[in-house]
A and B are shown apart, each in its own frame.
Chain A
């Protein structure tokens, strides 16, 4: 069953700006992962944060996790047109990963 829920559903920004995407979930998790999907393609893993971690960085990506609020955010800094894609948060529990509906990010050149 679907657990994570991302917001906003769609985000349009200018190249160079930062993009912040949020994810909320309902039940306990072992980890939370963010993935990216280009239209008509599979998902590509971006970053994983474990339930005992609060913040992680990877290049231009920064992810936070607040287990008390059951929420996570993904920040993409200095966005590029090539960042245009759909972004999904996947919540990991019981060896399975379930996804929300995703966020469509458009970065205008």
Chain B
């Protein structure tokens, strides 16, 4: 089956630094990738949708300058949390939609971000 690899799985950083999270589709081409954020025992909140080669579409209330998303190729999307603050601490999950299977999503294993 289709595999999405997300790295790192866990990151601890100091307040004010930037953190980059990578999401790769290993054995398929992802036309669209989605970034979600999840708080403990809460729903996944969609942050943004990225299509290869175009700008990401952000959900209402998500700061695009804070959460930079780049979808440079059909197999790689990155989320950079800029000038991280403790309130950015959360579980971030990416997912990808394959070109041919246009409805089902394949998820990465998530990144636990802790900002000190």
* Docked-complex contact B43 and A88, CB < 8 angstroms: yes
- Shortest CB-to-CB span from B8 to chain A, Å, is 13
* Docked-complex contact B49 and A2, CB < 8 angstroms: no
Bound CA–CA A60/B107 (angstroms): 22
Q: Mark B30-55, 1 if CB is under 8 A from A, else 0.
A: 00101010000111111001000000
Contacts across chains A and B counted by CB atoms under 8 Å? 59
Bound CA–CA A82/B57 (angstroms): 37
| Contact among A2, A31, A104 for B103, CB-based, below 8 A | A31
Query: Do A99 and B104 form a contact, CB below 8 Å, given A1-B60, A42-B109?
Result: no
Is the C-beta of A73 less than 8 angstroms from some C-beta in chain B?
A: no
> Using a CB-CB cutoff of 8 Å, which residues 78-109 of chain A contact chain B?
88, 90, 92, 95-102, 104
* Docked-complex contact A42 and B108, CB < 8 angstroms: yes
* Docked-complex contact A2 and B109, CB < 8 angstroms: no
Interface size, chain A (Cβ < 8 Å)? 25
- Shortest CB-to-CB span from A15 to chain B, Å, is 24
Q: Which residue of B lies closest to A101 (CB)?
A: B43
What A residues does B34 contact at CB under 8 A? 96-97
What A residues does B25 contact at CB under 8 A? none
Closest 10 interchain pairs by CB?
A42-B107, A43-B107, A101-B43, A42-B109, A99-B44, A99-B43, A42-B110, A42-B108, A45-B104, A42-B93
| Contacts from A to B (Cβ < 8 Å) | 1-2, 30-31, 33, 35, 40-45, 48, 88, 90, 92, 95-102, 104
